[in-house]
Homo-oligomer: A and B are copies of this chain.
Amino acid sequence: MRLLFLGDMVGRSGRTAVYERLPRLIADHHIDFAIVNGENAAGGFGVTETILTDTLDAGADVMTTGNHVWDQREALVFAERQERFLRPANYPDGTPGRGMGVFEARNGARVMVSNLMGRVFMSPDLDDPFVAAERQLDGGRLGRDFDCVVFDFHAEATSEKVCFAHFVDGRASLVVGTHTHTPTADHTIFDGGTGYISDVGMCGDYGHSLGMEKEEPLNRFLTKVPRGRFEAATGPATLCGVAVEISDRTGLCERIAPIRIGPRLEETMPSWW
């Protein structure tokens, strides 16, 4: 089966790019399952239910998130009823919403998607993502209970990301890093058969600072005196993600390639699409 994962949509610019291009990508390239990380979709901070619905309407099967998940407080409510909306699974017990789900792909495959958050440099107060993943994997096995297992590992440190991928190597189809808003070029298939990329990057305006207008972030580095808020940049977005081909037999990754469409970055599409 063929899966597409798009990184953090940032603001209106990112949303526009996803809404406009995702339906066509899915149709033209026979994508069986599409995941979009939406944690920065609402002006850079969180996601509204309207945005979630629009993203699903554009063809996404699941929206994952990360540390910004609750920035729009309505998410605390709709996370409960929207089954295709995931927040990091390693938030404490009692957190609204869910951190993983099993979904049916367009080809009938059973796809388990898990959203986890790293702790290094980031969120010391979360539960252990390795333990959380172990527990999730205890609940069902790739190639038997699931046809595809995807982890969105939302984290800052490359060491934590790559160690996590080794940890689930052979037990997951794909580990996708998100959060840094910077696409990496280390997509690979590990020895056990798990596809991996440290970060897929964002769907946003690459002419500024991680999708946000660069003036204020730069100002803070220079003066340490906040002058205003962080605001999403408004230039045209580049869509960044990763495409994988997953074995219908084993659920493991057979092919992985980045996808980048838009200005500023070097465009690329899977050669095998």
Residues of A with Cβ closer than 8 Å to B?
70, 76, 91-96, 119-128, 130-131, 156-160, 162-164, 166-167, 180-188, 190-191, 198-199, 201, 206-210, 214, 217-218, 220-226, 257-258, 260, 264-266, 268
Contact = CB atoms under 8 A, between A and B. Distances in A.
A254 B147 CA distance: 46
29 contacts: A76-B225, A92-B128, A92-B224, A94-B223, A95-B224, A120-B125, A121-B124, A121-B157, A123-B124, A123-B224, A124-B125, A127-B128, A159-B209, A159-B210, A163-B217, A166-B208, A166-B218, A182-B184, A182-B186, A183-B185, A184-B185, A185-B201, A185-B260, A185-B268, A186-B201, A186-B206, A187-B265, A188-B265, A257-B266
A182 B158 contact: yes
Contacts of A265: 185-188
A71 to B, nearest CB: 9
B225 A266 contact: no
Nearest to A238: B186
A97 B184 CA distance: 33
A102 B224 CA distance: 25
Contacts of A91: 224-225
Given A123-B124, A162-B209, A163-B218, A198 B182 contact: yes
A133 to B, nearest CB: 11
B120 A124 contact: yes
